[in-house]
Amino acid sequence: MSGEPASSRAGAATAAAVGGGGGSVDWGAVYATDLVYVQDCHRLCGDAHCCSFARHKARFRMLGRKPFQELPLLPGEYEHMAATGALAQFGDCERRRGELALDAARAVPYESIVSHRAGCACEHATRPTICRLYPLFPVHDVAGRLLGVEPHFGVYEELEVLEGLPRACAVGSLPFEQLQLFLSLCSRLAASPLHLFCLHAYRATKRHAVAGLQRRLAAAPQSAFALFEWQMLKGRLVDREALRAELTALADAFAAHYGDRFALPAPTLPAPPAATGGAP
């Protein structure tokens, strides 16, 4: 396994703080929840689409040159996989960690694991939480009540819409026989204010990225995939100041609702330079 890049290394102190701040998740129970929307669903799309998103990555000029799959992780999830030996499934992989500082006392942590394994990055039994939920992302309110699901799970599903492509994943609804497993998994994640906040932050970040793409496409029509790749490589996929403002308001709402039960870790990376202009 390769080392962590210095620019995204948050340090052991952050890992410890994130694992316990605002409650913890029973990862053993999460990983024992075998939510399967449709048996052998990988055959419905024809190429196990969500295991590699290969048909979408083929539209990129640079990002798709080498096999990779970046899987977002929730706080403490990497440590659980490390403790249970589940990291071996990813083969040649890299842990990425970073944060978005909201103010001098609070930062939103983010973490992912990047696997360069060809084909599917993980094994079914030990797949990460995001793979267990895909393709229906749970939508909660601040109190943790499940409001519904979002079928446009990640940025690839949003790019399909922007590009006018048919939906690659053939699963679009929650089968009744899997409802209790889905509710159980969602309730375990929402029981921790910190992890519930991270689910909200994931959706907010994706929403900001899509809004930026929509504005640029309206001004200069082009391939949504080409635009996404270019903005990604330039580090301009989201307006960080606008996102920071939304996540700060969200963190304030969580703090007001949960009190001492909710805590974000303190920033550990150097503070970004003050903004001098508008959105990138």
Give the tens place of pLDDT for each residue, 129-142.
Answer: 999 999 999 999 99
Contact between 189 and 199 (Cβ < 8 Å): yes
- For 243-252, what is the mean pLDDT? 98
DSSP H helices in the chain:
12-20, 27-31, 42-45, 49-52, 54-57, 77-84, 129-133, 155-163, 179-190, 193-219, 224-233, 240-258
Q: Give the containing element (helix H, strand E) for 23.
A: none
Sequence-distant (≥ 6) Cβ neighbours of residue 188 within 8 angstroms: 25, 26, 29, 30, 33
Mean pLDDT of 244-261: 97
Higher pLDDT, 41 or 272: 41
Read off the pLDDT of residues 21-59 as tens digits, 9 standing for 90 and up. Answer: 446 899 999 999 999 988 877 777 767 778 878 778 888
How far is the C-alpha of 19 from the C-alpha of 79, rounded, in Å?
Answer: 9
Q: Is 137 helix (H, G, I), strand (E, B) or coil?
A: strand
Per DSSP, the three-state class of 95 is strand
> The whole model's pTM is what?
0.86
